[in-house]
């Protein structure tokens, strides 16, 4: 198996705070890696180091063969290969769903409006929102807004998708539609790294669960192994709390 994401010995300091303490994470093509761990353990920082929204203090990060930390790397170009979806959808409120989805296609990739609109509509179709293309975020539910954010990311045809607590801001009844879209993406062969508390999704969609604590990967393995028979005391304690 080829790995598409390769992080080695990643450290991150924020001033005196040592947040990542030497993380190694290698993700194979088409793999869905699910990251769990207590609040403050460094999950978001790790994801952000993968697309260089945060600059690691040391270590190496390679995504799809591109050295993300090499100063010669065109980072905006490299980031197009790495879609990211956040807890807060970060949509422009005054733009339609289609406008949000096509913005980067037009401004960053340089597609014509017609091309961008065609790609944007295809992306909205994939998340089941083609009929909402003309709606602004305020006219959409939270779940629909998050699906627009996913469409915006996949419209750029990324090689990897990072999800940072994509359903945490949603009312419970809206969570399912977002997980459904993530399941479809996974089925289509997308490589995904997902930070989430949706353990049911982890059990039936993840290839591997990674448990982080205090800036380190403490334990990782297939969902059943991590949830049913973790080997580390810290993993056991965490799993015990959330179930
Ligand atoms: P998690 O996502 O697992 O909850 P984070 O990666 O968000 O954890 O945070 C890990 C630690 O790093 C926390 O103590 C957090 O306060 C700190 N942290 C995160 N981002 C910053 C930042 N930009 N500046 C200073 N401290 C930060
Ligand atoms: Mg976080």
Residue 2, classified by CB atoms within 10 Å of its CB into exposed (0-12), middle (13-18) or buried (19+), is exposed
Rounded Cα distance, 87 and 166, in Å: 5
Tens digits of pLDDT across the chain (243 residues): 689 999 999 999 999 999 999 999 999 999 999 999 999 999 999 999 999 999 999 999 999 999 999 999 999 889 989 999 999 999 999 999 999 999 999 998 999 999 999 999 999 999 999 999 999 999 999 999 999 999 999 999 999 999 999 999 999 999 999 999 999 999 999 999 999 999 999 999 999 999 999 999 999 999 999 999 999 999 999 999 987
With a 6 Å cutoff on the Cβ, whether 39 touches ligand 1 is: yes
With a 6 Å cutoff on the Cβ, whether 14 touches ligand 1 is: yes
Cα(19) to centroid(ligand 2), Å: 12
Contact 212, 193 (CB under 8 A): no
With a 6 Å cutoff on the Cβ, whether 96 touches ligand 1 is: no
- What Å distances lie between residue 13 and 56, 68, 126, 180, CA to CA? 8, 18, 39, 36
pLDDT score, position 117: 98
Question: What's 2's DSSP letter?
Answer: -
What is the ipTM for the molecules in this complex? 0.98
The residue whose CA has the least distance to atom 15 of ligand 1 is: 40
With a 6 Å cutoff on the Cβ, whether 17 touches ligand 1 is: yes
Sign of the alpha-carbon dihedral angle for 129, 135, 136, 142: negative
Helix, strand, coil percent content, the chain, rounded in steps of 5: 40, 25, 35
Rounded Cα distance, 91 and 88, in Å: 9
The pocket of ion ligand 2, defined by CB under 5 A, consists of 43-44
pLDDT score, position 61: 97
pLDDT score, position 1: 63
Cα(191) to centroid(ligand 2), Å: 20
The residue whose CA has the least distance to atom 11 of ligand 1 is: 40
* Beta strands at 160-164 and 82-85: parallel, antiparallel or unpaired: parallel
Half-sphere exposure of 139 (CA within 13 A, CB side): 11
């Amino acid at each position: 198996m080829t790995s598409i994401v390769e992080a080695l010995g990643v450290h991150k300091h924020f001033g005196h705070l040592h947040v990542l303490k030497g993380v190694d994470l290698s993700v194979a093509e088409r793999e869905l890696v699910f990251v769990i761990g207590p609040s403050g353990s460094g999950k978001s920082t790790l994801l952000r180091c993968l697309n260089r929204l945060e600059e690691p203090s040391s270590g190496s990060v390679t995504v799809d063969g591109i050295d993300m930390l090499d100063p010669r790397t065109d980072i905006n170009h490299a980031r197009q290969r790495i879609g990211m979806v956040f807890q807060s959808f970060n949509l422009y409120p005054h733009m339609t769903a289609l406008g949000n989805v096509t913005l980067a296609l037009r401004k960053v990739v340089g597609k014509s409006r017609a091309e961008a609109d065609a790609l944007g509509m295809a992306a909205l179709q994939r998340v089941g929102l083609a009929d909402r293309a003309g709606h602004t975020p305020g006219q959409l539910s939270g779940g629909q807004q998050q699906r627009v954010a996913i469409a915006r990311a996949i419209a750029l045809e990324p090689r990897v998708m990072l999800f940072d607590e994509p359903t945490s801001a949603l009312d419970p009844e809206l969570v399912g539609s977002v997980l459904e879209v993530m399941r479809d993406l996974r089925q289509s062969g997308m490589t995904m790294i997902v930070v989430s508390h949706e353990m049911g999704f982890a059990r039936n969609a993840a290839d591997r669960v990674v448990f982080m604590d205090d800036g380190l990967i403490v334990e990782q393995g297939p969902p059943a192994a991590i949830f049913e028979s973790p080997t580390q005391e810290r993993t056991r304690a965490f799993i015990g709390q959330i179930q």
